């Protein structure tokens, strides 16, 4: 990494950190980019080199959490030998650990926000796109190893189903009050196991295969 790249990354992270601090200290967004950068002793133009608005900063917080999660996962040698089920479990457990580092900020911003399936805040779009790309890899690996059954019209929806699962976990975690978030760990394990049981081959698949066989044997 060049010195210029280091400085660029440093400025970007400084803006994100200062934005989060402002939210935590005041309970609201900065009044303006001008005032925000003045308090930071940074030129306003520098802010716009990285972000177009405070909404873009909020978007970057989610993407940074995702990137840190993937980096932490892939730094573990054993991760590459995980099954598809284990990779999703590993992601969610690691993601929650990353969320804990920002819990006060996330509570301040989303603690009283209704996170219903069709009304997610716009700043989650980048995170959603990155996660669905990650989920696509899990689904493809699962189909290759037959952990996940190939089903017409349904298989293409699995990434979206995993995204809804991520949001379920977040909604659960942001509201939970159990020590060390033990209930969140249980919710992750139970929901992922259920999801893979549903995506895997089942008695229904066997029945459909048998029905096809009978039909084709006429």
pLDDT band at 207 (very low <50, low <70, confident <90, very high): low
* Closest by CA position to 112, among listed 125, 101, 121, 100: 121
Taking residues 185-205, what's their average pLDDT?
A: 83
Report how far residue 189's alpha carbon sits from residue 139's, in angstroms, rounded to the nearest whole number.
18
> Which of the listed ranges 5-19, 68-82, 182-196 does the model predict with the highest average pLDDT?
68-82
pLDDT number for residue 54: 97
Maximum pairwise Cα distance, the chain: 80
Domain boundaries, the chain: 1-51, 58-208
Higher pLDDT, 7 or 38: 38
Which of the following CATH numbers is that of domain 1-51: 1.10.3470, 1.20.1730, 1.10.10, 3.30.230?
1.10.10
Per-residue pLDDT reduced to its tens digit, 135-164 = 999 999 999 999 998 888 788 899 999 999
Which of 116, 135, 142 has the alpha carbon at shortest distance from 197?
A: 142
The fraction of the chain above a pLDDT of 70, given in percent, is 86
The architecture in CATH of the region 58-208 reads Orthogonal Bundle (1.10)
């Amino acid at each position: 990494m060049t010195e210029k790249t280091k400085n660029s990354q440093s400025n970007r992270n400084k803006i994100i950190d200062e934005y989060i601090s402002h939210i935590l200290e005041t309970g609201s967004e900065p009044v303006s980019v001008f005032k925000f950068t003045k308090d930071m002793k940074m030129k306003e133009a520098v802010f716009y080199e990285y972000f177009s608005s405070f909404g873009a900063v909020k978007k970057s917080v989610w993407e940074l959490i995702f990137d840190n999660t993937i980096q932490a996962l892939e730094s573990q040698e054993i991760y590459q030998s995980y099954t598809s089920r284990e990779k999703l479990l590993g992601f969610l457990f690691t993601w929650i650990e990353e969320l804990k580092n920002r819990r006060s900020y996330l509570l301040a911003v989303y603690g009283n926000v209704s996170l219903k399936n069709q009304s997610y805040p716009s700043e989650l779009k980048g995170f959603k796109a990155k996660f669905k790309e990650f989920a696509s890899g899990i689904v493809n690996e699962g189909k290759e190893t037959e952990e996940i059954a190939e089903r017409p019209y349904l298989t293409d929806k699995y990434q979206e189903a995993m995204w809804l699962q991520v949001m379920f976990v977040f909604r659960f975690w942001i509201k939970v009050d159990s020590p060390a978030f033990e209930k969140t760990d249980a919710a992750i394990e139970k929901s992922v196991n259920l999801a893979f049981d549903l995506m895997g081959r089942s008695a229904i698949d066997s029945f459909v295969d048998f029905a096809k066989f009978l039909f084709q044997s006429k």
